Amino acid sequence: MQNDADLQIFFTKVDGSFPGRHQDLQPIITWKSSTTPIATEFRLPIPVEHSGSVIDYSFETLHNDVQFAILFEEADDSKGGGAFSGDGGIAEDGQEEVIVEPQKVESQLGPITGTIPLTRPGRLTLVWDNGHSWFKHKILSYSVTLHVPSLLATEKAKCGRAVNALRACVRSRDDAHSRGAEAVLERKEAASTVERLEEELREMQAKLDGATRLAEQLGREVDDCQQREYLEGRKIQGLTFRLMPEEILIRTLSYGSEEDEWLTVCKDWLEALSPSAGGSIDDAGSHE
């Protein structure tokens, strides 16, 4: 699980790489050589497993000067502090850091010495480069000593990291607890708001449904009223001619002929005069 992997990386960074866990403590380690020939380049890698280590070096050459540099590559913390980007089991994105810039040194005149304190695990590489004079081989004599911090100092450093990590964890936990309590209250308020809005939504939906049904009902009623108004108007027109006294009706119709538009336009007049309507001019006069 991702949480387990994160915890492992966290505790690996806190514990660091300290003596006594996998091996016996070796306070001093020395690399020496008095007859190392250099044609083009010679590299001496020094593994540094513990932060707080110190490296002392001393070297000299026969037959002229040589170019000297020191490089450092930090260990991959996610793999326990013992992995580098150059050998097996190692980080792929490691970059070498220049500790001492490449420069020619007059090592043929006397020993060149120096001390490199290291604050983190990794790999220190001493580089002697004879590329500028490869046709003249150099004979290198060197002595490199690695001083490993005592178990007490290492444990003290580990405890310091643990204390700092503990303080950060306590702050983070307290912040998470405080924010979590606030979030619980906010979630209750949000849930109450959601419930209230859902109830309002149901009420509004019921009102909307009722208004929609009423609008549809009124629409049908409007259609019915318009239809009834039209039919009753037609009836009134037809009854008007049917209720005229015969003399007035005959006199009115005498002002035009059957071909005149004003007589034929009104369907009610035609229906009043039509025998199929069950009436006639004589029938209309019977009103008296």
205-264 pLDDT, tens per residue? Answer: 999 999 999 999 999 999 999 999 998 988 887 777 677 777 776 777 677 666 655 555
Sorted by where each starts, the structural domains of the chain and their CATH numbers stand as: 2-149 (2.60.120.680), 243-285 (no CATH)
d(CA 243, CA 285): 8
pLDDT of residue 196: 95
User: Whole-angstrom Cα distance, residue 161 to residue 77?
Assistant: 14
The tens digit of pLDDT for each residue in 109-142 reads: 999 999 999 888 999 999 999 887 767 778 899 9
Tokens 């991702």: give the residue: 2
Evaluate if residue 151 carries a pLDDT over 90.
Answer: no
Which residue type sits at 37? P
* Full strand arrangement of the beta sheet holding 54-62: 28-38, 138-147, 54-62, 112-117
Nearest-5° Cα angle at 123, 143 to 57:
20
Q: Tens digit of pLDDT for each residue in 58-103?
A: 999 987 889 999 999 988 754 444 444 444 333 344 588 999 999 9
- Residue 3 host element (H or E): helix 2-15
d(CA 140, CA 107): 9
Name which of 122, 147, 162 is nearest 25 in CA terms.
147
Which two tokens mark 39? 């044609």
**Which two three-digit tokens encode residue 155?**
């444990």
